[in-house]
Amino acid sequence: MQPLIFNHAHGRLPAPMIFVWGLVLLLCAGGSFGAYRQLDTGNAALQQQLRTRQAALQPPMPRQAGNMGTVSQAVAREVADAQASIQTPWLPLLTTLEQVHQPELYWMQLAPDARHKHLRMTVLAPQRQQGWALVERLKKQATLADVKLNASESTDVNGLAMTTVQLEAGWIF
């Protein structure tokens, strides 16, 4: 049996310059980290000084009991209006309008006012009778009240004669 001979080259260590460069880079990184930490603590101290000076420069706010009552009442009214707007049943209202819609009618404007439960609409119809039929269909809806035709005007849209119908209605929910 023949003996096994391993024919491999012995590894070389990297040149000493690579170790020197690595050591220099490691020292630079450590120095940068130390400088960053020192700048960070200095910045925090300066920000704290700025806050204390700003607080010292601001004049104390006078407290008036009567003025605070009117401000809080105004805020309470705004909050109540916002809650009424949020609680408005938009989905049933829009469902009602989708039920009366016809494919040949184009809704140009729909402006609901939640505070007054009022709705303004502008519709573009190819024929005047279609716009008036929309008014009649809206009057038959149980959730809409006081449907009015404000204006009906012939207009030219891209060379086609169309009728602009402006409506108003109130809603009941």
CATH code (residue 107): 3.30.1360.100
Asked whether residue 128 is assigned to any structural domain, the reply reads yes
Q: State the pTM of this model.
A: 0.49
pLDDT digit string, tens, across residues 41-65? 999 999 999 988 888 887 766 555 5
In this structure, are residues 107 and 134 in contact, taking their beta carbons and an 8 Å threshold? no
Same domain, 110 and 161: yes
Look at the chain and report how many structural domains it folds into: 2
Across the chain, how many H-helices and E-strands are there? Answer: 4, 4
In this structure, are residues 117 and 171 in contact, taking their beta carbons and an 8 Å threshold? yes
Same domain, 31 and 95: no
pLDDT digit string, tens, across residues 98-138? 888 888 888 888 888 877 888 899 999 998 888 888 889 99
Asked whether residue 12 is assigned to any structural domain, the reply reads no
Pick the residue with more confidence: 145 or 82? 145
The residue out of 55, 76, 105 marking a domain boundary is: 55
Asked whether residue 36 is assigned to any structural domain, the reply reads yes
Same domain, 92 and 162: yes
Residues shown for the chain: 173
Domain of 23 in residue numbering reads as 17-55
